[in-house]
Structure 1
Amino acid sequence: MLQRIQTIYLMLAAGASGGLIYAFYLWGLDDGTQVWAKDVNYVFAAFLTSAFFSVVAIFRYKNRKSQFMLGRLNIILNFILLGFFVYQSLISSGEFYGSEKGVGLFIPIISIVFLALANKAIKKDEDLVKSVDRLR
């Protein structure tokens, strides 16, 4: 059923991972250039993979366990991406390489929040189905 609340959360997570990378840059360099997600190939691939996992999870609504597993895998991927951004901001802090951090560094956090809410709703649905099965 596509009209469940986790579908909305997964669409928002896919929109954050796949759409916001074109609206916000990741960090700025000292010479004034801005680094976008599409400029760093593995970051771009990680964002698109995260969006792909969210879209695939939307259409796995008949199998809630695999939908939940895809959500967890996506959360792990976003934590890895967030860890890379924290590492990148720590090695480039100060006035050497670039002191301007962009809003795009927070996109994995937004995606993690929506994915956690989706997984909570999926778990709630699974518990409801199990409780109804016990009554039969």
Structure 2
Amino acid sequence: MLQRIQSIFLAMAFIVSIGFYIWPIAIFPTESSDLIFTAKGFLSSSGKIITLLYPFLILSGVISFLLLYQLFSFKKRIRQIQTGKAIIILLLLWYGVGLIHAYSYFQNFEILLELRPHVVLFIPVVLIILILFANKYIRKDEDLVRSVDRIR
């Protein structure tokens, strides 16, 4: 039943998660030029790859895949809720992995005060909100189904 409201929230979340791969996360100003932080890694201003961040790219891919899985497992509501909780944990881990990679590249946290954030830095917050709304409506459906089973 893809016409449910939670399916709309999950579809919006999946579409928003594609932004991980399209836009940069942040720009770090350095002495020579700006470094662009993307899901792929650090890029120079000219677009040349400086370092690849495979864990960050894989984590972004897993989040997008799980959002799609949660959208299409509408017959298993409990599994949908559990998947939503796992995605929220992975989104919080996404921030942690990003901080670790930024620190390991620059070797200080002062550079984080100078970064220019882009829209992708806030995508996990939007995804968490959308997943929470979807889980709320999934739980409502599950409660409705259980109450009907009790009446029989």
Q: TM-score, normalised by structure 2?
A: 0.77
- For 1:13 and 1:47, locate their aligned partners in 2 and report how far apart those are by CA, in whole Å: 13
Number of residue pairs the alignment of both structures matches: 134
| 1:70 positional shift | 0.8
Q: Does structure 1 residue 79 correspond to structure 2 residue 92?
A: yes
| Higher relative contact order structure (alpha carbons within 8 Å, sequence separation ≥ 6) | 1
- For 1:7 and 1:80, locate their aligned partners in 2 and report how far apart those are by CA, in whole Å: 24
Residue 130 of structure 1 corresponds to which residue in structure 2? 146
Q: Does structure 1 residue 36 correspond to structure 2 residue 49?
A: no
State which of 119, 123, 135 in structure 2 corresponds to 1:107: 123
* RMSD (CA atoms): 2.2
- For 1:89 and 1:99, locate their aligned partners in 2 and report how far apart those are by CA, in whole Å: 12
State which of 78, 82, 91 in structure 2 corresponds to 1:69: 82
- For 1:61 and 1:41, locate their aligned partners in 2 and report how far apart those are by CA, in whole Å: 31
| 1:134 positional shift | 1.2
- For 2:108 and 2:129, locate their aligned partners in 1 and report how far apart those are by CA, in whole Å: 26
The one-letter amino acid of 1:94's match is E
Percent of residue pairs bearing the same amino acid type: 32
Higher helix proportion (structure 1 or 2): 1
Segments of structure 2 that go 5 or more residues without pairing to the other structure are: 42-52
- For 1:26 and 1:98, locate their aligned partners in 2 and report how far apart those are by CA, in whole Å: 15
Residue 5 of structure 1 corresponds to which residue in structure 2? 5
Residue 49 of structure 2 corresponds to which residue in structure 1? none
TM-superposition CA deviations, 1:38-57 (whole Å, max 9, x none) = 22221121111111001011
Higher strand proportion (structure 1 or 2): 2
| 1:33 positional shift | 2.7
Quick check: 77-86 or 50-59, which moved more? 77-86
Q: TM-score, normalised by structure 1?
A: 0.85
Q: Which protein is bigger by CA-based radius of gyration?
A: 2
TM-superposition CA deviations, 1:6-57 (whole Å, max 9, x none) = 111111111222x112343112122213111122221121111111001011
